[in-house]
Structure 1
Amino acid sequence: MKAAIVTIGDEILIGQIVDTNSGFIAKSLDKIGVRVHEMLSISDDKQHILETLSKLQNKVEVVVITGGLGPTKDDITKKTLCEYMQDTLVSDEKVLAHVTQLIEQYFKRPITQVNKDQALVPSQSEVLFNQVGTAPGMWMEKENTVFISLPGVPFEMKYLTENEVIPRLVKKYKRPYIVHKTLLTYGVGESLLAERIESWEDNLPEFIKLAYLPSPGRVRLRLTARGKDENVLLEAVQYQIELLQPQISDCLIGLDEEDTLEVVLGRMLTSQSKTIATAESCTGGKIASLLTSVSGASNYFKGSIVSYATEVKNTVLHVSEEVIKNYSVVSEQVAIEMALNAQKILQTDYAIATTGNAGPTKGDADAEVGTVFIAIATPKGVFCEEFNFGQPREKVIDRAVNKGLELVYKEILKN
């Protein structure tokens, strides 16, 4: 069973906003065995919308559309869908009552005609009631394709997808099972990892596919199995994971999509009743941001000192002026003092420190652009490693963040 996702809005096409709706819808469909065949972003143009709907008609079983359902004149999706379905717009009493209540009780103002028009829907459509907004979703069928129109506002789209769209699709269609399992690795590049597991990959059964999903310092290995028997798929995927694990045990972090390195670190620190802090220069607080993105981080994360300027390293982090003068602000000696002093000031078991030259110019440092020193203070001592992450600037910062987390992970793993 195939689906297409269509986002409507010039603001997406000119890069003014990033389309996150398609990703959420795709994941939701995938979980119930619906394969997304195509994703499209199109303009707020009636002819463009009509041509897209016509092209997808009978090519896929489901078309999910987001955007263009608001109260303003440029929101034309509803009228265009009505034209495509050769239908007329009618006012839905339940939606109108809901919109009236929101406007008059929540916004404390009289309802206008523009607001009332939100309750207009194609007469032959099935209304998907939007409890969290004013624009209803719409379910329309033409020949062999279901067209589902949702608001573009993300939280409204998510509400309707979870509470209206998915339950209806599950009821209407018989779908194959899709099983995904993701393994997260660190510290080994995609090509080297592929060489290491080549024999295992070559012997995967035909109904199990492997995808490499690389990012700076990390590679996700995603196994996908499709078939009619869910238990058979689960058992087959688990068996393949058990065969694979010994081959990547030195770089394997977790076995779940949510098992990011920062999540795993949080679990380890919590289980050992240990704490951590950061002292960041070139990474600008990004390590701290990742650590605190995990729910419950307050149990183990004490804080961060972002000593971006040289004088802050001296006055706040208490890095010796003599050390900075003798060795340069980007050096092993400065990184070590940063880590040890952060550990002391914030009274933690572990501390990560970064100082480097992300570029594009050298700034206060003598080190080459791309050079980063990462120091890790532990209950047993401190160590520092030097890296050159090349260019561009964003790559240097991202790789430094991931490497810092990787180094502290290895240290915590020893206990």
Structure 2
Amino acid sequence: MQVDIITIGDELLIGQVIDTNSAWMGQELNKEGFYVNRITSVSDDHEEILSVLRETTERSKIVLITGGLGPTRDDITKNTLCEFFNTKLVHNEQVLADVKTFLSGRVKNLNQLNQDQALVPESATVIRNPVGTAPILWFSYNGGVVVSMPGVPTEMQHAMHHEILPRLRKSFDTGFVEHKTILIHNIPEAVLAEMLSGWEDAVPKFIKVAYLPSPGKIRLRLSARGNDQQLLKSAIQNSVEALKPIIGDNIYAEEDQAIGEVIINLLKQQHKTVSLAESCSGGLMAHLITAVPGASEVFKGSLVAYSNEIKNRVLGVNKADLDQYGAVSRQVVEQMAKGAVDVFKTDFAVATSGIAGPSGGSKDKPVGTVWIAWASAHKVVSDCFQLGQMRDRVIMRTADTGLIRLKKLIENNDL
């Protein structure tokens, strides 16, 4: 079942606020088998909103709107919906009571703007909003629905979870949708597409293949829709199994997970711990790990050893090696990793040292040169990488490479 999403607000169009609502809704709708056909952001302009409503209701049976339901003058969605559906605003006592309850203890007397939140389109089904002042408005039209929700993400998400999605499931037959995402590292998109040309030709026509690249890695997504869920699952899994011999070790996960989550799950399974000694990655590896709930079970800590003094004094890197080989070297990064194992008393450690740029490079060590080491109490291994010339990408690729290689080393018992 096709869905259109409309997000309303000048702040979205000038970049003052990032539209996270449509991305979140797209994910949740997809889980339920709904197909998001188009996402449109529109200004707080009466005619623009009317124009978008005409377009979307002609092509989709489900139109979901966020934004423009607040109490201020620039919130014009309710009035515009009244004109579109040829109805008028009427007072709703239940909405007023909800507004009073929500604002109790914060506002002594409701002003006119707060009271006007209780004005709702007469032809709409009003859905109560327990986490805000603006009600949710449900319009039925020609076998379809238009739903208007607040733009505040927490309010929209509460409405979707508790009211909108359950109502949509009852009203529309969605069929089934199945996805499988393979995470691939260290193969450029064009190279991967060439490698998989024959494989893609063999994939059943009802499976859609999408390449989702980011610096240093690619998410390869397989999607299938239909009425036979078991057939969809089986066909996708067969395609994945045919994919593995082609890509081999460049696959680092078969679920759409952040690398931090992949590492944490692996360490939990093996009852192991990890620490980090980061220089050029500047703590990004630690962030990728600690962003995942439960990280404290396996992650002991990280040291951002940006200066040679800290590398020497805290991690025990030999000063003579720093002077002779420089901070960006096998000798130094291996000592950093071993030092982290000793300082944090962990089973494993990862260390990074490199030249992120844009300056600081040389003929022997150009910008983008990065050394990464992985250590345990018994072994240390390291490798040198050339990760490009854009600072942000060098940092991100360093963090991803360090954690992805750690996963493979642990799984292969190479540490």
Q: What TM-score do the two structures reach when normalised by structure 1?
A: 0.94
The answer (yes or no) to whether the contact 2:102–2:131 under 8 Å persists in 1 is no
The answer (yes or no) to whether the contact 1:278–1:288 under 8 Å persists in 2 is yes
Written as runs of structure 1 = structure 2, the 5 A alignment for 1:42-81 is 42-81=42-81
| Partner Cα distance (1:70, 1:10) in 2 | 14
| Partner Cα distance (2:376, 2:409) in 1 | 8
Equivalent residue, structure 2, for 1:283:
281
| Partner Cα distance (1:373, 1:120) in 2 | 63
The answer (yes or no) to whether the contact 2:149–2:159 under 8 Å persists in 1 is yes
Q: CA deviation at 1:185?
A: 2.3
CA spacing shift, 1:363–1:93, aligned 2, 3 Å? farther
1:409 is matched by which residue type in structure 2? K
Q: CA deviation at 1:216?
A: 2.2
The answer (yes or no) to whether the contact 1:58–1:143 under 8 Å persists in 2 is no
1:160 is matched by which residue type in structure 2? A
The answer (yes or no) to whether the contact 2:182–2:221 under 8 Å persists in 1 is yes
CA offsets per residue over residues 88-133 of structure 1, 9 Å max, x none?
112222221111012123x253322211222221011011221221
| Partner Cα distance (1:222, 1:201) in 2 | 12
| Partner Cα distance (1:285, 1:200) in 2 | 39
The answer (yes or no) to whether the contact 2:252–2:404 under 8 Å persists in 1 is no
| Partner Cα distance (2:362, 2:305) in 1 | 13
Equivalent residue, structure 2, for 1:188:
187
Deviates more, 1:189-198 or 1:53-62: 189-198
Equivalent residue, structure 2, for 1:22:
22
Written as runs of structure 1 = structure 2, the 5 A alignment for 1:300-315 is 300-315=298-313
- 1:89 lines up with 2:104 in the alignment: no
Equivalent residue, structure 1, for 2:119:
120
1:141 is matched by which residue type in structure 2? S
| Partner Cα distance (1:77, 1:135) in 2 | 11
| Partner Cα distance (1:261, 1:210) in 2 | 22
3-state DSSP of counterpart to 1:305: strand
Uncovered stretches (5+) of structure 1, i.e. residues with no partner: none
CA spacing shift, 1:272–1:57, aligned 2, 3 Å? closer
| Partner Cα distance (1:176, 1:268) in 2 | 35
Q: What TM-score do the two structures reach when normalised by structure 2?
A: 0.94
Equivalent residue, structure 2, for 1:166:
165
1:385 is matched by which residue type in structure 2? D
Deviates more, 1:180-189 or 1:280-289: 180-189
| Partner Cα distance (2:336, 2:261) in 1 | 25
Q: CA deviation at 1:366?
A: 8.0
Identity %: 45
- 1:394 lines up with 2:392 in the alignment: yes
| Partner Cα distance (1:288, 1:365) in 2 | 31
| Partner Cα distance (1:267, 1:104) in 2 | 44
Equivalent residue, structure 2, for 1:339:
337
Deviates more, 1:149-158 or 1:181-190: 181-190
Written as runs of structure 1 = structure 2, the 5 A alignment for 1:222-261 is 222-258=221-257, 260-261=258-259
Q: CA deviation at 1:225?
A: 0.9
Equivalent residue, structure 2, for 1:354:
352
After superposing on structure 2, the runs of 4+ consecutive aligned residues of structure 1 that deviate more than 4 Å are 363-366
| Partner Cα distance (1:294, 1:147) in 2 | 36
Q: CA deviation at 1:392?
A: 1.2
3-state DSSP of counterpart to 2:272: coil
1:239 is matched by which residue type in structure 2? N
The answer (yes or no) to whether the contact 1:126–1:140 under 8 Å persists in 2 is yes
Uncovered stretches (5+) of structure 2, i.e. residues with no partner: none
Equivalent residue, structure 1, for 2:217:
218
Equivalent residue, structure 2, for 1:135:
134
CA offsets per residue over residues 159-207 of structure 1, 9 Å max, x none?
1111111111111112232111112222333333333333222111111
What RMSD, in angstroms, separates the aligned Cα atoms of the two structures? Answer: 2.0
3-state DSSP of counterpart to 2:165: helix
Deviates more, 1:400-409 or 1:54-63: 54-63
| Alignment length (residue pairs) | 413
1:381 is matched by which residue type in structure 2? K
Equivalent residue, structure 1, for 2:203:
204
CA offsets per residue over residues 301-346 of structure 1, 9 Å max, x none?
0000012233333343343333222222222222122111111111
CA offsets per residue over residues 45-67 of structure 1, 9 Å max, x none?
11211111122222111111111
| Partner Cα distance (1:41, 1:133) in 2 | 22
3-state DSSP of counterpart to 2:58: coil
| Partner Cα distance (1:116, 1:314) in 2 | 66
| Partner Cα distance (1:41, 1:324) in 2 | 54
3-state DSSP of counterpart to 1:73: coil
The answer (yes or no) to whether the contact 2:102–2:130 under 8 Å persists in 1 is no
The answer (yes or no) to whether the contact 1:329–1:364 under 8 Å persists in 2 is no
| Partner Cα distance (2:306, 2:108) in 1 | 49
| Partner Cα distance (1:409, 1:216) in 2 | 19
3-state DSSP of counterpart to 1:16: coil
3-state DSSP of counterpart to 2:63: strand
| Partner Cα distance (2:12, 2:89) in 1 | 27
The answer (yes or no) to whether the contact 1:352–1:376 under 8 Å persists in 2 is yes
| Partner Cα distance (2:97, 2:361) in 1 | 62
Equivalent residue, structure 2, for 1:156:
155
The answer (yes or no) to whether the contact 2:285–2:403 under 8 Å persists in 1 is yes
